[in-house]
Structure 1
Amino acid sequence: MDDNEYDSLGATEKGPNEKVPLIQHGTSRYKPRCPITVEPVMFLYFLGTVATAPLATQYLHAKVADDLHFDPVQYHSNQSEDISICLLNASDPVVKMEQLVQEISSGWLQKFSLATMIPAIIVTTFYGSYSDKGGRKFCILLPCVGSFIKNVCNIIVVTFKLDIFWLVITCVIEGMFGYYATILIGGMSYIADITTEKQRAFRILVLEVMLWLGSAISQVIIGYWVKADPTFLGPTVFITVLYGVSALYTFFLITETVEKDPEARFFTLDNVKAMLLMYARAPNGEDPSRVWKIRTLCFTMLFGTMSLVATSTVDVLYELNFPFCWTSTKIGWYTAAVSVATQVAGLLTLPLFKRCKMPEPVIMMIGTMSALLWKGMVAFANHDWEMYVAGGLGVLGILLVPVLRAVMSEQVSAHEQGTLFASIASIDCACSLLGGVLFSTVYEYTVMYYRGAVYLTMVGMYTIALIAILYYFIRSSRERKQNMVKKSCFSVHNHDDMCVQVTAFPEPKET
């Protein structure tokens, strides 16, 4: 990379081979030649990743049913129509067999989540901090390669109809390469490097839209493809190609934004220590209040994102089940419709809210309330139209995550962005792991009695997140007002009596 590409970047010498960038607020670390940077690779990667969830769920459902010698097609009188067990009485043995298939499938989905997320959480703690010194491309490329290897193995499993257990092994392989959490570290840190604080929330939203757009397209494609190719081989090959293209794009077309430190080490406890210290204390010269802010936002993310990243497989089972009994095609169109509506709503409303000077915590609360209403209505839905209305209520839920990430990014310095997003990615992994196990378990044990219980669990989590955001908003607003009083007090000369009220509220220095 040319030296002149690093604009707004100064350096002070600390040693013979060490430089520390001095990046002022309101400036970016690096200006790329092309405004389109990591968005295409994020789109391609998540197009494949999101497509994998319903594909794996439907393959697992079909595989378990085949192992149990259960074929619902033979019980349907009209072969020209989509197959639906909803035409049968709830007490029919076929319906009960379908419930058994769902229970077993849900159990395997738990194993898939554990096999992927446990290794991903471990390696993610190293990847993020390393990217601050070793470069961002590493964190973007590695998950693409890992997912490519996994899906090559999946092709073998599907082709030779191997035991389901082999899919658990492929999940472990993908997790060891960091999975989607690591590519989020690279992508989000890259965006933080090339944007100012004012630009960051919208650019992160654009990145989120790439994820949702990939979700919408993949759901429609997979829905039709599974119906046309019940062997599942074609869609698996397609996903493998997507990962291969994303890896090639990253390797050849993404320009590095970080000057690599030759002394940077990957497997070192210093990387983990840096991430933990971020939540323990502020560095010298930084605002001490950032510690409680990061902790509160971290807590919010834990409960606010769990229902977003860990429900796709449960959603598919829920929609396949009575009383909806949707086909793979219908599931695809529903997911695509909700995704497109969500993207449009997010791209239109966030700039509008920012233009109206709406505080970022308020935007997060709006997003949380929208998602809460969505899951709450799904819990009680019995008709198709109710599912679509629920999706409409949740279109502003997309605002929560990008704004939350942007606010967290604003709390730390430029050379801590990778470490911060590593912690965020670890939270995402933990949410996916805990949420996947929790929601699959709740659904497994309640589907026979009350199928909507799992969505009421999600409503409870969004409620906790909403309370945490409200706490953050009230406390940060109070501190901001007190700091303004303190600042105005010191601007008045020779009026010590005006400073009495400030001494009663000792607050950290404003950044």
Structure 2
Amino acid sequence: MAAEPSPPPAAPPQPPGRRPALPAVEPLLFLATLCVGLQGPLATQYLWDRLGAERGYHGHNGSGSAGCGNSSAGADPLRQEVEALVSHWNLYINLGGFFVSLFSVTLLGPWSDSVGRRPALILPTAGLALQTATYLLVMYLELHVAYFLLGRILSGLTGDYNLILASSFAYVADTSERRARTFRVAVLEACLGTAGMVASIGGGQWRRAQGYVNPFWLAFAASLAATLYAALCLRESVRQRKPARLFTLSHYKAVYRLYTAPEHPSARWKLILYSLAFFLLVTVHFGSKDLYVLYELGFPLCWASDLIGYGSAANYLAYLSSLAGLRLLQLCLADTWVAEIGLISNIAGLVVISLATTTPLMFTGYGVLFLSMAATPVIRSKLSKLVSEAEQGALFASVACVQGLCSLVATGVFNSLYPATLHFMRGFPFLFGAIILLIPAAIIGWIEIWDSKHDYNAFQDAAPSPAKD
């Protein structure tokens, strides 16, 4: 008599509250970052060309034409006027977009904790498509550059790129284990670097060959593809969804309660201190990134669009090198000390860039930044571990709020500081950023030392006292 077939082995138990094998959110973040990465440097160069042509300046964005390759170019008043004007328009456009998104992100982020992550990913990617379409209309119809501000505000109303980041990180927190969360967050950030690198190299070469319009069409296609992926392919990561009103103050209160009534009293201070460290670090990242292209366009570097693309790619390469470095350093160091090494890399790279007067020295500065992005995934992961699984949505909404505030402050401070310091040190904003980064380095180190002492004291209290004779 034939033996009955044995039953198939039972599937391994899944952690409670998790959904196995959900589609990855990384492709959506890649497409959205590709869209933003194409728009950023090209929009600055377009402003340079348009505003320079309106004022009769013909030194075409650092392509080596007359007026940039000699020592008298540094004192060219017309060039300095165009440079300051482009910096101010960047300030107005970024300020308008981020000021609107600061409120929309903190509204939509907690809302996604109830209704799910997918709506909070569909809305901002559609907003990016609307912004890119507005930019294309400005170029086709030669509208005033103030319409760039309108495009940014439209994107800001739907959450802007910050909401895409916040929802993506919340999606990863929903679907990852605590012990692997730091690396999962780093993988997500590596997607930012990969997409940014592709956009930088491709955008610079493409713009040099065919102008601005075609690269912006690719940005528009990428934003549409991200919207469709969120709507059709991505599955929901929030298990217990419930209907919730969108326009209510309760969403803002959820973020407030996170910092005022956490589960443990010590967690409140850690949340505040880690958020302050994150704020300062990301503010320097945003502020310096806003100025790289303008710094490279000006005298004495005078880079053309292809070199600008390579420079942006080298900057984005830090995401991938930081991922590899974080993975290796985690084998022998705690996450905190990995973050400290990343901050040292960031500080040293900004100091070198602030003194760069030649192309090799500028690329050396980009090379020293190879671990500069290792600190942000560590901070995000530590913040995520300070709250319960049911509070991840509110947490990343607060992180999005901080990140929106970072952009607001960075564009205000760095884009105002750059034209104000052109006459004595062109690279002063980067040196200023390096000094600011000493503060998060001190905060992260102090928390680690405090935790070590606390754990040691707890161990001593738990140890049995020696028996008396």
What TM-score results when the alignment is normalised by the length of structure 2?
0.93
Equivalent in the alignment of 1:506: none
Structure-1 separation of matches of 2:113 and 2:414: 35
Q: Is the counterpart of residue 288 in structure 1 residue 265 in structure 2? A: yes
Q: Is the counterpart of residue 192 in structure 1 residue 181 in structure 2? A: no
The alpha-carbon deviation at position 343 of structure 1 amounts to 3.6
Structure-2 separation of matches of 1:412 and 1:30: 20
Structure-2 separation of matches of 1:203 and 1:51: 25
- Per the alignment, do residues 288 and 328 of structure 1 end up closer, same or farther by CA in structure 2, a change over 3 Å counting? same
Deviations 1:469-492 (A, max 9, x none): 122122122222223333x24xx4
Q: Is the counterpart of residue 377 in structure 1 residue 385 in structure 2? A: no
Equivalent in the alignment of 1:424: 399
Equivalent in the alignment of 1:15: none
321, 330, 337: which is aligned to 1:354?
330
Q: Is the counterpart of residue 137 in structure 1 residue 137 in structure 2? A: no
Aligned residue identity for 1:135: G
**Contact (CA 8 Å) 2:279, 2:406: kept in 1 or not?**
yes
Q: State the SS of the aligned residue for 2:308.
A: helix
**Contact (CA 8 Å) 1:133, 1:259: kept in 2 or not?**
no
Structure-2 separation of matches of 1:144 and 1:497: 67
Structure-2 separation of matches of 1:306 and 1:175: 18
Q: State the SS of the aligned residue for 2:374.
A: helix
Structure-1 separation of matches of 2:110 and 2:372: 29
Structure-1 separation of matches of 2:338 and 2:111: 32
Structure-2 separation of matches of 1:375 and 1:89: 25
Equivalent in the alignment of 1:14: none
Equivalent in the alignment of 1:501: none
**Contact (CA 8 Å) 1:84, 1:325: kept in 2 or not?**
no
**Contact (CA 8 Å) 2:74, 2:300: kept in 1 or not?**
no
Equivalent in the alignment of 1:339: 316
Equivalent in the alignment of 1:222: 203
Q: Is the counterpart of residue 171 in structure 1 residue 160 in structure 2? A: no
Q: Is the counterpart of residue 241 in structure 1 residue 241 in structure 2? A: no
Aligned residue identity for 1:88: N
Aligned residue identity for 2:339: M
Equivalent in the alignment of 1:407: 382
Aligned residue identity for 1:130: W
58, 62, 67: which is aligned to 1:71?
58
Structure-2 separation of matches of 1:91 and 1:338: 27
Structure-1 separation of matches of 2:12 and 2:37: 35
Equivalent in the alignment of 1:503: none
Structure-1 separation of matches of 2:66 and 2:259: 51
Equivalent in the alignment of 2:109: 128
**Contact (CA 8 Å) 2:126, 2:224: kept in 1 or not?**
yes
Equivalent in the alignment of 1:308: 285
**Contact (CA 8 Å) 1:5, 1:30: kept in 2 or not?**
no
Q: State the SS of the aligned residue for 1:265.
A: coil
**Contact (CA 8 Å) 1:85, 1:325: kept in 2 or not?**
no
The alpha-carbon deviation at position 281 of structure 1 amounts to 2.3
Equivalent in the alignment of 2:254: 274
Q: Is the counterpart of residue 451 in structure 1 residue 426 in structure 2? A: yes
Aligned residue identity for 1:199: A
Deviates more, 1:238-247 or 1:331-340: 331-340
The alpha-carbon deviation at position 316 of structure 1 amounts to 0.3
The alpha-carbon deviation at position 97 of structure 1 amounts to 1.4
Structure-1 separation of matches of 2:396 and 2:260: 16
Structure-2 separation of matches of 1:429 and 1:497: 59
Equivalent in the alignment of 2:6: none
Aligned residue identity for 1:211: L
Deviations 1:31-83 (A, max 9, x none): 2255xx00011001001112211011001111110111221259x9xxxx853
**Contact (CA 8 Å) 1:5, 1:31: kept in 2 or not?**
no
| Consecutive unaligned residues in structure 2, runs of 5 or more | 1-10
The alpha-carbon deviation at position 260 of structure 1 amounts to 5.2
| Consecutive unaligned residues in structure 1, runs of 5 or more | 10-22, 24-28, 499-511
The alpha-carbon deviation at position 339 of structure 1 amounts to 2.6
Structure-2 separation of matches of 1:408 and 1:309: 20
The alpha-carbon deviation at position 96 of structure 1 amounts to 2.4
**Contact (CA 8 Å) 1:116, 1:172: kept in 2 or not?**
yes
257, 268, 291: which is aligned to 2:237?
257
**Contact (CA 8 Å) 1:220, 1:329: kept in 2 or not?**
yes
Equivalent in the alignment of 1:396: 371
Identity in percent: 26
Deviations 1:378-405 (A, max 9, x none): 1111121111221111111110111110
**Contact (CA 8 Å) 1:309, 1:428: kept in 2 or not?**
no
22, 29, 32: which is aligned to 2:21?
32
**Contact (CA 8 Å) 1:311, 1:436: kept in 2 or not?**
no
- Per the alignment, do residues 301 and 249 of structure 1 end up closer, same or farther by CA in structure 2, a change over 3 Å counting? same
**Contact (CA 8 Å) 2:321, 2:371: kept in 1 or not?**
yes
The alpha-carbon deviation at position 496 of structure 1 amounts to 10
379, 387, 392: which is aligned to 2:362?
387
Structure-2 separation of matches of 1:157 and 1:213: 29
Aligned residue identity for 1:31: P
**Contact (CA 8 Å) 2:30, 2:194: kept in 1 or not?**
yes
Deviations 1:143-186 (A, max 9, x none): 10001011111111110100111111111101101111111121
**Contact (CA 8 Å) 1:53, 1:312: kept in 2 or not?**
no
The alpha-carbon deviation at position 298 of structure 1 amounts to 0.4
The alpha-carbon deviation at position 251 of structure 1 amounts to 0.8
Give the aligned CA root-mean-square deviation in angstroms: 2.2
Q: State the SS of the aligned residue for 1:201.
A: helix
Equivalent in the alignment of 1:209: 190
Q: State the SS of the aligned residue for 2:265.
A: coil
Structure-1 separation of matches of 2:60 and 2:404: 38
**Contact (CA 8 Å) 1:120, 1:179: kept in 2 or not?**
yes
**Contact (CA 8 Å) 1:120, 1:175: kept in 2 or not?**
yes
Structure-2 separation of matches of 1:467 and 1:104: 37
Equivalent in the alignment of 2:80: 99
Structure-1 separation of matches of 2:378 and 2:58: 46
- Per the alignment, do residues 484 and 92 of structure 1 end up closer, same or farther by CA in structure 2, a change over 3 Å counting? closer
Structure-2 separation of matches of 1:173 and 1:115: 10
Equivalent in the alignment of 2:4: none
- Per the alignment, do residues 101 and 409 of structure 1 end up closer, same or farther by CA in structure 2, a change over 3 Å counting? same
- Per the alignment, do residues 244 and 91 of structure 1 end up closer, same or farther by CA in structure 2, a change over 3 Å counting? closer
Q: State the SS of the aligned residue for 2:299.
A: coil
Structure-2 separation of matches of 1:118 and 1:91: 36
Equivalent in the alignment of 1:42: 29
Equivalent in the alignment of 1:8: 15
The alpha-carbon deviation at position 215 of structure 1 amounts to 0.9
477, 484, 492: which is aligned to 2:459?
484
